[in-house]
Amino acid sequence: MLFKWLLFSLCIMPAMFSNTRRKCPTECQCSMDDLDRYQAICTKGGLNSLLSPNELDADVKVIIIRGPRNSITIGPALRQFMKLEILRITDSNLPAIGAESFWGLKYLRILDLSKNNITNITENNFRGQDNLLELDLSKNKVLRMASSTFRHLTDLRRLNLADNSIVELVQRNFFMLSRLKYLDLSGNPLQDLQPDVFRDVPELKVLKCRNCQLKKINPQMYNLLPLLSELDLGRNEFKFLDKDEFRDVKRLTKVLLDGNQLSVVVDQLFRMQKSLNHLDLSYNRLAKVPNDSFLQLTNLTFLDLSYNKLVRLEPQSIRSLSNLLTLNISGNVLMDLREMRETFELIPQLTHLAIADMGTMPIGLLHPFKQLRYLNISGNSLNNTALEVIDPCRELEFLDLSRNQLHGISEDTALRIQGIRNVRLDNNPLICDECHMGKLINVVRQVSSK
């Protein structure tokens, strides 16, 4: 009897469990992910070919391949992984996608081929992928795309083409992408966005075209995108926006226009954007904000006007911003902060305020801000006496005092900042001895010992 049991243990049981052992290539780590899907993550680098069923179980659902020193081509080998749901091959020197490489992968939902050397994409690359939801081709070398390139991706929701070398979009580029919600074209030297290009994406909600060398946009484009909620046109070459620029995009909640050449925000520019809550106009050439520029933005919570040429921010211009929580006016070196007290009194509800690189800060400037949590007053040449300016702000959690002229920290200031969770003091001419920093050192010791 004992002999039979030993025979069963040594010979039969291993054969039973051998079928449950998972295959995993030596270059990869294999495991179950949070959704109980078998995944292979290959990040050691040095791969010269794709994985095969001889190395990896055919029912794998997630494959992630990332360099360094990979040199991979995509061919029909992937078709053998019929259960694949997520495929990411990034930073792997991939030169092309290949015709019908993903044919038969009907469960594939996310395809990420970013950070490769792909120069050309055609409609045959994606044949059979009518269930794909996300496609990332960013940081490749794509120059042009023919009409109907993505016509097989009828259920696609996110498309990332950022940081390629695309010089032109042509009509029907996005043919059959009627369900697309997110499109990123940033970092391509497009120079122009023809309205008809967007006729096939009526459900688009997020459009990003940062650093695309744009000088103007035909407003008809917005007429074709009535559901747009986020628009990123930062780091382009806009010099002027007409008051009817955004007339047809009434659902915008976030607009980024930073890094352009705007000299004015005309009255009523955002009159139709009553749902807008995030507006970035930083790094432009704004000299003035007219009184009615933000009149309709009663739901705005974030406003960045930093690094412009503003001389003054009139109380009238922000009188409607009753829900504003974050304001950044840093870097407007021509602005006299003594003239900002009346303006600040209209927005006492602020929780985040940045007044960096501005110069002298008068005592009492921050008196209205009893709820302030974040304060950046770096680069203002503040000395120890000038630190009294922060006294009214008793709820601070973050305080940036970097790049000032602090030689030491007094006992009062040390006790004052004791309760602030994060304080930056770097790039000050601090004298680290008992006389100048002793009180702060004692406070730090007391906090550390608790």
User: Cα separation of 427 and 444, whole Å?
Assistant: 19
Q: How far is CA 236 from CA 139, 169, 260, in A?
A: 19, 17, 5
User: Cα separation of 298 and 436, whole Å?
Assistant: 47
pLDDT in tens, 400-417: 999 999 988 888 888 888
Greater model confidence, 98 or 14: 98
The whole-chain average pLDDT of the chain stands at: 91
Residue 259 has pLDDT above 60, yes or no: yes
Greater model confidence, 444 or 152: 152
User: Cα separation of 135 and 154, whole Å?
Assistant: 12
- Provide the 3-class DSSP secondary structure of residue 104: coil
pTM of the complete model: 0.90
The fraction of the chain above a pLDDT of 70, given in percent, is 92
Residue 182 has pLDDT above 90, yes or no: yes
Closest CA to 317 of 257, 244, 264, 250: 264
- Provide the 3-class DSSP secondary structure of residue 397: coil
User: Cα separation of 423 and 420, whole Å?
Assistant: 7
Q: Given pLDDT bands bounded at 50, 70 and 90, which one contains residue 303?
A: very high
Mean pLDDT computed over 265-293: 96
Name the percent of the chain in helix, strand, coil, to the closest 5: 15, 15, 70
Mean pLDDT computed over 185-199: 97
Closest CA to 88 of 129, 116, 126, 56: 116
Greater model confidence, 388 or 64: 64
What does the pLDDT read at residue 14? Answer: 41
What count of residues does the chain have?
450
CB 57 within 8 A of CB 83: no
Residue 58 has pLDDT above 80, yes or no: yes
Mean pLDDT computed over 323-340: 96
Tokens of 158: 């996110």
Mean pLDDT computed over 300-305: 98
User: Cα separation of 18 and 118, whole Å?
Assistant: 41
User: Cα separation of 55 and 291, whole Å?
Assistant: 68
- Provide the 3-class DSSP secondary structure of residue 23: coil
Q: What is the DSSP letter of 248?
A: T
Beta-strand ranges (E) seen in 180-267 are 182-184, 206-208, 230-232, 254-256
- Reduce the secondary structure of 275-310 to three states and give it as a string: CCCEEECCCCCCCECCCCCCCCCCCCCEEECCCCCC
What does the pLDDT read at residue 10? Answer: 44
Contacts with 45 (C-beta within 8 Å, 6 or more apart), sequence order = 66, 67, 68, 69, 70
What does the pLDDT read at residue 448? Answer: 42
What does the pLDDT read at residue 118? Answer: 97
Residue 425 has pLDDT above 60, yes or no: yes
CB 377 within 8 A of CB 403: no
What does the pLDDT read at residue 446? Answer: 45
CA 259, 264, 266, 267 torsion: positive or negative? positive
Residue 8 has pLDDT above 90, yes or no: no
pLDDT in tens, 80-134: 999 999 999 999 999 999 899 999 999 999 999 999 999 999 999 999 999 999 9
Mean pLDDT computed over 30-46: 95
User: Cα separation of 441 and 276, whole Å?
Assistant: 45
Contacts with 112 (C-beta within 8 Å, 6 or more apart), sequence order = 87, 88, 89, 90, 134, 136
- Domain regions of the chain by residue span: 351-450
Residue 13 has pLDDT above 50, yes or no: no
Residue 265 has pLDDT above 60, yes or no: yes
Tell how far CA 393 is from the center of its chain.
Answer: 30
The fraction of the chain above a pLDDT of 90, given in percent, is 81
Alpha carbons within 13 angstroms on the beta-carbon side of residue 445 total 6
Q: Which CATH superfamily is domain 351-450 in?
A: Ribonuclease Inhibitor (3.80.10.10)
User: Cα separation of 239 and 216, whole Å?
Assistant: 8
pLDDT in tens, 212-250: 999 999 999 999 999 999 999 999 999 999 999 999 999
User: Cα separation of 87 and 241, whole Å?
Assistant: 42
